[in-house]
Structure 1
Amino acid sequence: MLVDFAPLRIPLRRRLQTLVVLQWVFSFLALAQCCLVLFVALLFTRFWFVSVLYATWWFWDRNTPYQGGRRFRYVRSLGLWGHFRDYFPIHLIKTTDLDPKKNYIFGFHPHGVLVAGAFGNFCTELTGFQTLYPGLKPHMLMLPLWFRIPFFRDYLMSGGLVPSDKESAKYLLRRKEGGNVAVIAIGGAPEALDARPGAFTLQLKNRKGFIKLALQFGAPLVPVFSFGENEVFNQVRNPKGSFLRRLQDRLQKLMGISLPLFHARGIFQYSFGFMPFRKPIHTVVGKPIEMEKRESPTQEEIDELHQRYTEELSKLFEEHKTQYKVPEDRHLTFT
């Protein structure tokens, strides 16, 4: 196979974009492991007290991720995220106003491999969320496992990420002053195993926990579809029933994280590597689905709202798909 090398003369801004995205990919794949190794390694050096002090702080601060986290606007507004946005590029599209006095649940679809659109739009300030939705603060929900890693947990919280469990979501939704948005990648880790160019399969049929939460707190549900999310990485073929898919499913159940064997381009060549393709991502935020608060919703009420949500998500996709180069004959499939 011939390697398609990148030209030697590339504008500095594109080099910077590649560098920032490389850092982002590294953060997803290896930063947590590096933080854990650093924490343990320091214990066997003259700087052992750093880990001891951090462990003390960690114990005292252990509930913070579940109580809205500790976001830093400075970190979310760093200029480097502008390079991240422009690499693809990533766009946030608003379809209607949202009341900053309410708390919302954003259902983000599809998960993709590394949720690039969700990170760019809801974990940084560089795609204009605060301008489009003044008074609202997005909190991206992420697997609780990552908030147990020393140092890494603080990095995650600085961007507005919080653990994806009921305790964390309930804290956001019960805030009477409003203005909180719980952003949930509904398909979760399993959906990442289906993420590849041209895929429109969403894991939603049996995902009803977020529906129950919305009813319990009377929080409007907002469907969000990120066009292009599945286009930025290829994935090794893993049809359901294959040995690879069975192995991936088993590991996902054991560890709580999925292990998609993804690939795209490299840093200095376009033929292979773990860098995402430069494909545009358009994240469209739909209209809120209002409902009455039900502290103890019945299964019938949950199923009814779930059906309505599915219909609104499909409607959002159909209304915008041709604008973002999705063929007319392609539709969402729910599993």
Structure 2
Amino acid sequence: MKGVSSATVPSLAGLRALLGHAILLGSWILGTSVVSTSIIVAWLRGAYVTTSLLVLAATHHLVVSTRPWPAFVRAIQSLNLRAYYRRAALYLPKSLPREKTMFCYAPHGVVSCGFNVNGVWAREFEQVDIMWYVSTAFFVLPVISQVVGWKGNLNSASAKSLEKRMRTGGNVGIIPGGFEEATICARGEDRVYLRGRKGFVKFALRYGYSLCPVFTFGESECYWTFPYGVNWRLWLNRFKIPGCAFFGNPVAPLLPRRGTDLLTFVGEPVALPTIAKPSTADVDRWHAVYVDALRHLFDANKVKAGCDDRDLVVL
């Protein structure tokens, strides 16, 4: 397994990486709060023309599809997002699978730094055909939906879109733990939410896909999180409501903490058989095999990541 990028960088590189994070996270914040707040304020002040224009600007993407913009992708990649962290790297196996592989990232963390920095925006994955799957909300909210469209190889994490892709045999990248894994995120611990997450295994069996475990050390260190009331916050997740409160960079709390590591290890794919109609027993068996592979990946690399005193907690 080889490391393909390490971050010992000058301050200018750090500033460029900060700009990259600000653009990506800022597009999310603009869509979820700034735009909606502006519409409400304009309407309350009686500025109905302004309100109409803002609503039009915020919803046009629902009618007009956003085309991929390679120049934007290159611009973000040129900012070297990994340089934001104290130490950041992507460790790959000798070769990346080119078809019928599901790259399963863990943990989700607060804003999925590892998935984004060492996955979606990583140049290394451009050597293989891969579609990344993210929350459906990113395709509905203004601003962030533009960024998602410009990237080109991002899709809605719905069963329908995932199955459509898997019928073609193309690689996919997902975060099996989802919102729940963000909710249980706690600094100083490495937690994954997998016991009740077996749908991805069922899909993999149905279409004969390999499951490739991917783990990011340092994901849980990127933000301070609210540790209490986990059960009721998990209850909120049932309604697709994120159940985590967090605080990152002291100067810009929505950005990750800078003095952290972000080390992502891609394991060897676990080959699964093709079972058109997998039974519950089939799914349970191969789910257990995948969890064991993820544990092995964690244990094999935790010393290298400086986390030798930790164990992977599977909830």
TM-score (structure 1 length as normaliser): 0.78
Q: How does 1:84-233 map to 2 (within 5 A)?
A: 84-88=81-85, 89-100=87-98, 102-126=99-123, 128-130=124-126, 134=127, 136-159=128-151, 160-175=153-168, 178=169, 180-233=170-223
- Assess, with a 3 A threshold, how the Cα gap between structure 1 residues 52 and 189 changes in structure 2: closer, same or farther: closer
What residue in structure 2 maps to residue 248 of structure 1?
233
Distance across 1 between alignment mates of 2:63 and 2:76: 33
1:261 aligned partner: 245
Structure 1 counterpart SS, 2:242: coil
Report the AA paired with residue 152 of structure 1.
I
Deviations 1:142-180 (A, max 9, x none): 2213322245323223223211111111122111xx4x3
Q: Which amino acid letter does the alignment assign opposite residue 311 of structure 2? A: H
Query: What letter corresponds to residue 325 of structure 1 in structure 2?
Result: G
Farther-moved stretch of structure 1 (10-19 vs 33-42): 33-42
CA distance in 2, matches of 1:265, 1:52: 34
Letter in 2 for 1:230: S
Does structure 1 retain, via aligned residues, the 8 Å contact 2:132–2:173? yes
CA distance in 2, matches of 1:53, 1:31: 11
Identity %: 22
Q: CA deviation at 1:38?
A: 6.9
Kindly provide the CA deviation profile for residues 111-141 of structure 1, in whole angstroms up to 9, marking residues without a partner as x.
1111011111222144x322xxx2x233322
How much does 1:34 deviate?
3.6
Q: Which sections of structure 2, spanning at least 5 residues, go unmatched?
A: 1-9
Q: Distance in 1 between matches of 2:71 and 2:121?
A: 10
- Alignment partners' CA distance in 1, 2:18 and 2:207: 42
Gaps of 5+ in 1: 1-9, 62-68
Residue 47 of structure 1 deviates from its aligned partner by 10
CA spacing shift, 1:307–1:125, aligned 2, 3 Å: closer
Q: Please state whether the residue corresponding to 1:289 is helix, strand or coil.
A: coil
CA contact (8 A) 1:123 1:138 kept: no
One-letter code aligned to 2:131: H
When residues 19 and 75 of structure 1 are mapped into structure 2, their CA distance, relative to the original with a 3 A threshold, is closer
* Worse-superposed segment, 197-206 or 111-120: 197-206
How far apart, in 2, do the equivalents of 1:204 and 1:15 lie?
Answer: 36
Q: Secondary structure at 1:223's aligned position in 2?
A: strand
CA shift, 1:54, in A, is 8.5
Query: Residues of 2 paired with 1:146 and 1:153: CA distance?
Result: 5
Normalised to the residue count of structure 2, the TM-score between the two structures is: 0.82
Contact 1:96 1:286 in 2 (8 A): no
Q: Is the 8 A contact 2:20 2:76 kept in 1?
A: no
Distance 1:265 1:150 in 2: 25
Asked if the contact 2:210/2:271 (under 8 Å) is kept, the reply is: yes
Shift of 1:221: 0.9
3-state SS of 2:91 partner = strand
Distance 2:221 2:306 in 1: 12
Q: Is the 8 A contact 1:81 1:120 kept in 2?
A: no
CA distance in 2 between counterparts of 1:286 and 1:71 reads: 30
Q: Size of the alignment, in residue pairs?
A: 299
Q: 1:299 aligns with which of 258, 276, 280?
A: 280
Residue 113 of structure 1 aligns to a residue in which SS? coil
Cα separation, 2, equivalents of 1:170 and 1:38: 38
SS of residue matched to 2:188 = coil
1:21 Cα offset (Å): 2.4
8 Å contact 1:108–1:225 — kept in the other structure? yes
